[in-house]
Chain A
Amino acid sequence: MTTKKVTGSQAVILSLLEEGVDTIFGYPGGAIMPVYDALYDFDKNVKHILTRHEQGAVHAAEGYARVTGKAGVCFATSGPGATNLITGIADAMIDSTPLVCITGQVASPLLGTDAFQESDVVGISMPVTKWNYQITTPEEIPEAIAQAFYIAQTGRPGPVLIDITKDAQFGELEFEYKQCTKIRSYVPEMPVDPFKVKEAAEIIDQAKKPLILFGQGVIIGNAEDELKAFIEKTGIPAAWTLLGLSAIPTDHPLNVGMLGMHGNYGPNLLTNEADVIIAVGMRFDDRVTGKVSGYATNAKIIHLEIDPAEIDKIVKATVAVLGNSKKSLKMLTDNVKENSHDEWIERFRKCDMIENEKIIHKDLYPEKPGLTMGEVIRIAADKTNHEAILVTDVGQHQMIASRYFKFRNSKSNVTSGGLGTMGFGLPASMGAQLGKPERTVIAVIGDGGFQMTIQELGTIAQNKLPVKIIVLNNNFLGMVRQWQQLFFEKRYSFTELQNPDFITIAKGFGIDGHKVEKRDNLDGGIQKMLDHNGPYLLEVVIEKEDNVFPMVPTGASVSEVILEP
């Protein structure tokens, strides 16, 4: 292999190009200036998106990663630049999102001296990264970056941070790049054990009331077709976690809805009636299980999972099948008998009817004067033929959108699940749009979360990203207010917002938009937004004190799911 002499910062860019990186999100500053200088010569090869805050860059990288399956890349300078990434890195860690974050660092002789803009970002990011590493000599750059991509993207993906001192960026090296294919101390995925598969298949074949719970592992593992084949052969109803959403089409007849605190009535209630639960690429988050001692009380648990540390972490598995879900699902499908569970599925249908009557119909086709979040979501989903990418922030609108938006394609739902990061939505939608430029990206955001990263409107405008932003405005931190209403005797402590004129703000950034306050204007308003060439902000004023139901109250069992207060 031929080598050539380059600077450390050139090596950074060349390494990224070797990894097929086409988009970088970032924000320059003192300690990463050499890298930005090298980037200047590569503007034909790689797109750099200058965000308005490093948090915007990291969430955008997450959005990009979630829709493409490739690692999102972001740059930040030392000190505050690096610490501003931390929220997004923590978000990516808990939601298994591959990221490679590259931070500048003060020159190595200054490490530990409290130099200007020095922060121990390797130490700070350690609990929230899959791996991190500090580079102090230029020679380390290619290998460290190769390892970073390998670790971020294989096994259970996650964020990796590479901190590069300024002297390492300035120094020279003979550049030679070799992609990383193995690390002695790291096994990305275990080979699937055929005996475990057989054991699982026997249990599944005998089940009377089996239930599949699928999570993001299916999407990350590109195992959507395998999941569908498994479901269809066994005839087992399947329910999704928040991050499993969009893995199979919403209207699939065996798709019985969402799990969790604000999931659907049937899958929550019937979890405790199921005799076998097949959990695929999910981790029994507390928002899914409710009270663990009252969860899946009658079921044997089959857990298909790539991360050995997730086995028995929350719920003890009767049979654990380690490995990539694409492989394990295929093997399991080959080993199970064809089957159907019509009576059992009928139970879900009955629950659907109850939920529909008590909640869904009122949410989607309200007769009261105030607009509901549900009707906005329904119209936006229908008008995009269920083919749009949905990006949500965190709160009531997120739960409503996840419940009612419909999907035909996988990797189409981008949200902050595990960390519940308000402010995630707007920047993540930029990354999603850049990752999938041909798709319609709809960002649904609450008025609270929108103001946490509102400055990214500038990034959207500058890069002409045609994101369709729907702000559901109830002038409240709605989810917190809902809890205050239900569990804190309506003591609305600091949840009411005095909001600015969002449309004027958008226009100030050069983004068109308008505000809808009446039902008569809603359909046309959404159409106008979708027809608009370029980014657009649609603010919808919704009923102030609407609540999200059903609900599994904190500390309650999933079978205690309530349909109304």
Chain B
Amino acid sequence: MRQEFIITVYSENHIGLLTRITIVFTRRKVNIESLTVSESAIPGVFKFTIVIKATKEQTIKIVSQIEKQIDVLKAFYHTNEEMIYQEIALYKVATESLYENDTIEKIVRNGGARILEITREYTVIEKTGHKEETQALFNELNKFKVMQFIRSGRIAITRDPIERLSEFLKERDAFLNSLD
């Protein structure tokens, strides 16, 4: 059964690695729903958060192929339930429509969104949440015509009490040293 999986990849910061990782999906004709890359808490180690829709079996194989890449330190996969995750969305609406009545203000308040900037022409609203939530807000705001809309890729954190990566790096160092 196909479902959403969150794949987390920790890697060295090397040019071209993003392509190497995405090739693993392309070759198996699995579409990437969202992709976020940034430096992790450990300097020099980068973290990829990749959302796909696939079967568990497919996901396991993809993760082992990613892990096989030389510059990849470790890759994990999780179901949505196993992680806390968020996406951020920005909406631009005409400031005029805010003045006309207080509906937008109510939407922002009730939707847990906030206003980032107001100019004479436009107002930028920010909302963090799951895709359904940011989409719901879009649908509400679009009644007043959203001028621009952007949603980020997903970021996610495990429910584990420990940071897996630092544990992992310690183990890896000890292991490689034991080979000497």
Contacts and interface: CB of A to CB of B under 8 A. Distances in A.
Interface of A: 122-123, 126-127, 130-132, 134, 151, 181-187, 307-309, 311-313
A181 B11 CA distance: 19
A127 B11 contact: no
A308 B179 contact: no
Contact of B173 (A127, A134, A184): A184
Contacts of A131: 70-71
B16 to A, nearest CB: 6
Given A182-B179, A187-B175, A313-B61, A126 B67 contact: no
Nearest to B57: A312
Interface in B152-180: 169, 172-173, 175-176, 179-180
B23 interface: yes
B79 interface: no
Given A182-B179, A185-B73, A307 B23 contact: no
Contacts of B67: 308-309
A130 B70 contact: yes
Contact of B68 (A122, A182, A309): A309
Contacts of B176: 182, 184, 187
Contacts of B61: 309, 312-313
Contact of A127 (B23, B71, B179, B180): B23
Contacts of A151: 70
Given A184-B73, A187-B172, A308-B64, 9 more contacts: A123-B19, A127-B23, A131-B70, A184-B173, A185-B11, A185-B70, A186-B71, A312-B61, A313-B61
Lowest 6 CB-CB distances: which A-B pairs, in order? A309-B64, A131-B70, A309-B68, A185-B73, A182-B176, A186-B70
A307 B68 contact: yes
16 contacts: A126-B16, A127-B23, A131-B71, A151-B70, A181-B180, A185-B71, A185-B73, A186-B71, A187-B172, A187-B175, A187-B176, A308-B68, A309-B61, A309-B64, A309-B67, A312-B60
Nearest to B20: A126
Contacts of B27: 127
A132 B19 CA distance: 12
Contacts of A126: 16, 19-20, 23
B65 interface: yes
Contacts of B19: 123, 126
A306 to B, nearest CB: 11
A330 to B, nearest CB: 18
Contacts of B173: 184
Nearest to B16: A122
B12 interface: yes
B16 A185 contact: no
B89 interface: no
Contacts, number: 52
B157 to A, nearest CB: 22
B28 to A, nearest CB: 12
B124 interface: no
Contacts of A307: 68
A194 to B, nearest CB: 16
Nearest to A131: B70
Interface string B58-97: 0011001101101111000000000000000000000000
A181 B177 CA distance: 10
Contacts of B60: 312
B70 A184 contact: no
Which residue, of B23, B61, B70, B180, has the highest number of chain A Cβ atoms within 10 A? B70
Interface string B10-22: 0110011001100
B43 to A, nearest CB: 13
A418 B71 CA distance: 25
A129 to B, nearest CB: 9
B39 to A, nearest CB: 15
Contacts of B15: 134
Interface string B33-62: 000000000000000000000000000110
Contact of B65 (A130, A181, A309, A312): A309
B57 to A, nearest CB: 9
B64 A184 contact: no
B75 to A, nearest CB: 11
A308 B67 CA distance: 9
Contacts of A182: 176, 179-180
Nearest to A156: B68
Contacts of A134: 15-16
Nearest to B172: A184
A456 to B, nearest CB: 31
A151 B172 CA distance: 17
Nearest to B62: A309
Nearest to B74: A185
A309 B75 CA distance: 12
B105 to A, nearest CB: 49
A185 to B, nearest CB: 5
Contacts of B12: 184-185
A130 B72 CA distance: 12
B68 A183 contact: no
Contacts of B65: 309
B168 to A, nearest CB: 11
A185 B14 CA distance: 11
A294 B10 CA distance: 38
Nearest to A185: B73
B13 to A, nearest CB: 11
A126 B27 CA distance: 12
A62 to B, nearest CB: 20
A277 to B, nearest CB: 21
A160 to B, nearest CB: 9
Nearest to A311: B64
A134 B65 CA distance: 23
A120 to B, nearest CB: 10
